[in-house]
Structure 1
Amino acid sequence: MNPTEAYPAEAVALQDRSYGWFPGQPGGPRVVQHTTVNIPLEPQNDHLIWSLCNFVYGNIFCLGLAALISSVKARDRKVFGDLAGARHHASSARILNIVATVLTTLSVFITIIVLIVGNVQASHYSRYYYN
């Protein structure tokens, strides 16, 4: 059974009373212009500050220098508008910075542990032979 047959009074379509333009505005309907704004993606971070810190404080195996060079190249590529090249150099700088930071941190911890163990051994040695 068709719903319009059961209720014939409701089968009548409502009339569209929209005007096509804003009421009270002279001239009737107008052409609407659309403006498209292209927002570029967030620019790639070049990790320059991190590279400078690794270069100054943790230049182990010259990884800080390599990271600094990659960061400067990434910044230059970004200025010239080559976002793919900037992204490539920035990812290289990021990897080099991570490796340099991990190696520097490990070397600091190993140095601290060796110094502590050396002091403990020296204190045991002095107690054993001088008491």
Structure 2
Amino acid sequence: MDHSSQPFFSGTHTREPASFEVLKEEHEVSVLGGPQSSMQERTTVINIQPETAVPDHIVWSLFNTIFFNTCCLGFVAFAYSVKSRDRKMVGDVIGAQTYGSTAKCLNIWALVLNLLVIIGTVVTVIVIVVTSVYRFPGGY
């Protein structure tokens, strides 16, 4: 008795082709240029947007944190820069732009305040040296 020719279950069974077989047949028909099947060919378009350039000013913030950290503005700017980078990685462009612009503003203020401190220090040193020379012309 040959079991390979008899179905395992008794009764009549119709076998429907699997979906990948149908797609394979449709592809072969469309490639060979034969008649189109009753199913329409569907095309899926995946729109991959290029990464938008949102500046996070992290290098500038790090520089201000290390060298120009008057009133901790450099450190706060660095924190906002990291938040901007995190928002950019998540895909929140608006949030990244908001945090980035705040970091830029804080970096500008840190730079301006530090330049004022440096200029004030240089002017103070010059004034002290000049007044000490005129006060004690022959030395001490």
Same fold (TM over 0.5): yes
Equivalent in the alignment of 1:67: 77
**1: distance between equivalents of 2:48 and 2:82?**
27
Aligned to 2:8: none
What secondary structure sits across from 2:137 in the alignment? helix
Equivalent position of 2:92 in the other structure: 82
SS of 2:136 mapped into structure 1: helix
CA distance in 2, matches of 1:72, 1:38: 25
User: Would you say 1:96 and 2:106 are equivalent positions?
Assistant: yes
Superposition map of 1:22-33 within 5 A: none
Aligned to 1:110: 120
Q: Secondary structure at the match of 1:105?
A: helix
What is the TM-score with the length of structure 2 in the denominator?
0.63
Moved more, 76-85 or 41-50: 41-50
For 1:43, the equivalent position in structure 2 comes to 53
Q: CA deviation at 1:36?
A: 8.8
Contact 2:56 2:103 in 1 (8 A): yes
| Structure 2 unmatched ranges of 5 or more | 1-32, 34-42
TM (normalized to structure 1)?
0.67
Q: CA deviation at 1:42?
A: 3.8
Runs of 4+ with >4 A deviation: 35-41
Identity %: 39
